[in-house]
Structure 1
Amino acid sequence: MLTTLALAGYRSLRELIVPLGPLNVITGANGSGKSSVYRALRLLALTARGGVIPSLAREGGLQSTLWAGPERFSRAMLEGTAPVQGTRRHEPVSLRLGFSGDTFGYAIDLGLAVPGESEFALDPVIKRECIWSGPVLRPSALLVERHGATLRCRGHAGDWQTLPSSLASFDSMMSEFSDPLSAPEMLTLRQQIRSWRFYDHFRTDEDAPARQPQIGTHTPVLSDDGADLAAALQTIREIGDHRALDAAIDDAFPGSRIVIHNHAGRFEVTMQQHGLLRALSATELSDGTLRYLLLVAALLTPRPPALLVLNEPETSLHPDLLPALARLIIQAAAHAQVIVVSHAARLIAALERSSESHAIVLEKELGATRIANAGSLDLPAWKWPAR
């Protein structure tokens, strides 16, 4: 389980250190930085799949995603007695992402390329990557580190070994290096990160893939777009917790049940509702009903991930469905660490009834996202690797 999420230099996230528990609810007013936290988490996940640099390029390059305010705020700026203005830089321009848990920690530091070196000016350069043991980076806990193109790891005797791998400036060591003998920690962490799942705004329009019959195959993990909804629900019924599936449907729609029709190998979702003489096909379901079924398939997966992140799952749902969704999320948090990004008061209130729930309320001060009442929280220790 992750215990700390650290983000710096990304959009409004000038420097944000977030404590995490089994079930985390990130909330705040519009524009407080919730979406930036979600995007930064997705960037962290992409380090293990080789997608962090292309993703930043699609956002306009590093220059478009960097924190746009001053490196530091003076006391007068914070007190409002002086205007916010640029100051002399003491540190290099960087976008830094990291996390830690009881077992391992990881951080990546991205910076600007040297002007004129390459035509790929939108590509940031990976300056530093580190893996360490335990929750806080210390010299004695460092296991694997990358300086520019050089990669080295700590041997069994505690000595450092330079690995025969020359990394490109745009390649993360998490995706490009694989050696179970010299760096087993990297393989362990890579598999953990690759198991993370993100679900964000499923399509529910009339042409949405989830409404169309699809070829059915065992689907223990719902796809990002929900196209394999029918197969995922049938997989839960056959190899997952079918009682929890039936209970989740009845909880939200009393007297209803889901039936998966198999048309010569193509699966289709139908719902039998109390009082109706025939089942409703997926094309007849409301946007909210279909979205709830998609969330059921994601949360009741027979193969829980290390981390499950839901971005505004309340979208299109009637407020009366939110307590049922909250109970489903709490149930999922017993098998996977869950982060929910939401501004739906009813959903948040229902989730906070869980003893495992951890609320993280974001707010802005001078354009920078921070945790509200951070002074009263027991914030975790964090140290960024130096360049």
Structure 2
Amino acid sequence: MLTTLAIAGYRSLRELIVPLTTLTVVTGPNGSGKSNLYRGLRLLADTARGELIPSLAREGGLQSTLWAGPERFSRGMLSGEQPVQGTARTEPVSLRLGFAGDAWGYAIDLGLPLPGNSQFQRDPIVKRECIWSGAVLRPSALLVDRRGAALRTRDDAGEWSAVAQPIASFDSMLTEFADPKTAPEMIAVREQIRSWRFYDHFRTDTAAPSRQPQIGTHTPVLSNDGADLAAALQTILEIGNPAALDAAIEDAFPGSQIAVTNHDGYFEVTMRQHGLLRPLKARELSDGTLRYLLLVAALLTPRPPALLVLNEPETSLHPDLLPALARLIADASTRSQVIVVSHATRLIAALERETASQSIVLDKQLGATRIVGDDELDIPAWKWSAR
């Protein structure tokens, strides 16, 4: 389980250390940084898939995603006695992402290349990358250490060995080096990150793929866009927990049942509702009903991930559906660690009543995202690796 998420220098996340538990609910007013936290976590996941630099490019490049405020605030700025203004920079430009858990910690530090003849001067490069044992980065806990192109690993006796294979400045070591003998920790961290799943803003418009019949194959993991909804639901019915699926539908829509019809290999979701003479097809369902079915398929997956992240799952749902969704999320948290980013009061209140849940409220001070009441929370210790 992850116990700490750390992001620094990304948009409004000037320096944010977030404690995590089995079920973490992130909330706050509009513009407080909830979406930045979600996107920062997705960027962290992209490191293990070789997609970090392209993802930053889609956001406008490193320069567009960096913290836009001063490097530090003076007491006068914080009190309002002085205007916010830039100060002389003493540290290098940096975007840093990291996490720590029960067994491992990982951090990556991105910066700008030195001036040269390359046309890729706006392409961020990896300055430092580390894996360590335990919750806090210490020299004695380091297991894998990457500085620029140089990579070294530590054996069981504590001796360091350099890896002869250099790593390109724009690649993460997680995707470029895999040796179960000299660096088993790297493989463990990479596979852990690759198992994370993110769901946000399922399409429910009239042309949404989930409304159309799709070729059916075994689908233990719902796709990000929900196109394979029918196959995912049928997989739950056949090799997952059909009783839980029926209960989730009954909880939200009393007297209703879903079924998956097979038209020559094309699967389609149908829903029989109380009082109707025929089942409704997916293209006839309301946006809220279809979105709830998508969330059911994601949360009742027969192949639970290490981490499941939901961004504003309440979108398009009627408030009366939120207690049922909360019960579904709480049940999923018994099989996976879950992070929910939401501003739906009713959903948040229902999730906060769960014994294993923790609520993180974000706000902004001088443009920087902070955790409200962080002095009352058990903020974990965190230390970034020096370049």
Instruction: State the TM-score bracket (shorter-chain normalisation).
Output: over 0.9
Q: CA deviation at 1:357?
A: 0.8
Q: CA deviation at 1:121?
A: 2.9
Q: Which AA in structure 2 matches 1:282?
A: A
Which residue does the alignment assign to 2:149?
149
Which residue does the alignment assign to 2:128?
128
Query: What does 1:208-247 correspond to in 2, within 5 Å?
Result: 208-247=208-247
Q: Percent identity?
A: 76
Alpha-carbon distance in 2 for matches of 1:121, 1:279: 58
Alpha-carbon distance in 1 for matches of 2:74, 2:148: 33
Q: 1:125·1:169 contact (CA, 8 Å) conserved in 2?
A: yes
Q: Which AA in structure 1 matches 2:214?
A: Q
Alpha-carbon distance in 2 for matches of 1:316, 1:176: 41
Which residue does the alignment assign to 1:306?
306
Q: CA deviation at 1:225?
A: 0.6
Which residue does the alignment assign to 1:67?
67
Number of aligned residue pairs: 387
**Do residues 327 (structure 1) and 360 (structure 2) align?**
no
Alpha-carbon distance in 2 for matches of 1:106, 1:40: 14
Alpha-carbon distance in 1 for matches of 2:47, 2:140: 24
Alpha-carbon distance in 2 for matches of 1:231, 1:117: 51
Q: Secondary structure at the match of 1:259?
A: strand
Q: Which AA in structure 1 matches 2:43?
A: L
Q: Which AA in structure 1 matches 2:329?
A: I
Which residue does the alignment assign to 2:291?
291
Which residue does the alignment assign to 2:14?
14
Alpha-carbon distance in 2 for matches of 1:49, 1:97: 15
Q: 1:11·1:66 contact (CA, 8 Å) conserved in 2?
A: yes
Which residue does the alignment assign to 1:366?
366
Per-residue CA shift, 1:213-272, capped at 9, x if unaligned? 001010000000101000000000111111000000000000001110000111000000
Q: 1:106·1:132 contact (CA, 8 Å) conserved in 2?
A: yes
C-alpha RMSD over aligned residues:
0.6
Q: Secondary structure at the match of 1:289?
A: helix
Q: CA deviation at 1:319?
A: 0.5
Q: CA deviation at 1:116?
A: 3.4
Per-residue CA shift, 1:200-221, capped at 9, x if unaligned? 1000000000000001010000
Q: Secondary structure at the match of 1:162?
A: strand
Query: What does 1:1-387 correspond to in 2, within 5 Å?
Result: 1-387=1-387
Q: 1:13·1:369 contact (CA, 8 Å) conserved in 2?
A: yes
Q: Is there any run of 5+ residues in structure 2 with no aligned partner, and where?
A: none
Q: Secondary structure at the match of 1:309?
A: strand
Q: Secondary structure at the match of 1:376?
A: coil
Alpha-carbon distance in 2 for matches of 1:238, 1:28: 40
Per-residue CA shift, 1:296-339, capped at 9, x if unaligned? 00000001000000000000000110000000000000000000
Q: CA deviation at 1:343?
A: 0.3
Q: Secondary structure at the match of 1:260?
A: strand
Q: Which runs of 4+ in 1 moved over 6 A?
A: none
Q: Secondary structure at the match of 1:87?
A: coil
Q: 1:57·1:122 contact (CA, 8 Å) conserved in 2?
A: no
Q: TM-score, normalised by structure 2?
A: 0.99
Q: 1:54·1:123 contact (CA, 8 Å) conserved in 2?
A: no
Q: CA deviation at 1:147?
A: 0.3
Q: TM-score, normalised by structure 1?
A: 0.99
Q: CA deviation at 1:156?
A: 2.4
Q: CA deviation at 1:115?
A: 2.8
Q: Secondary structure at the match of 1:174?
A: helix
Per-residue CA shift, 1:336-383, capped at 9, x if unaligned? 000000000010001111001100000000000000011111110000
Alpha-carbon distance in 2 for matches of 1:187, 1:88: 41
Q: 1:60·1:122 contact (CA, 8 Å) conserved in 2?
A: no
Alpha-carbon distance in 1 for matches of 2:300, 2:353: 20
Q: Which AA in structure 2 matches 1:288?
A: G
Q: 1:125·1:170 contact (CA, 8 Å) conserved in 2?
A: yes
Alpha-carbon distance in 2 for matches of 1:132, 1:83: 41
Alpha-carbon distance in 1 for matches of 2:134, 2:155: 17
Q: Is there any run of 5+ residues in structure 1 with no aligned partner, and where?
A: none
Q: CA deviation at 1:91?
A: 1.1
Per-residue CA shift, 1:130-153, capped at 9, x if unaligned? 000000001110000100000000
Q: Secondary structure at the match of 1:130?
A: strand
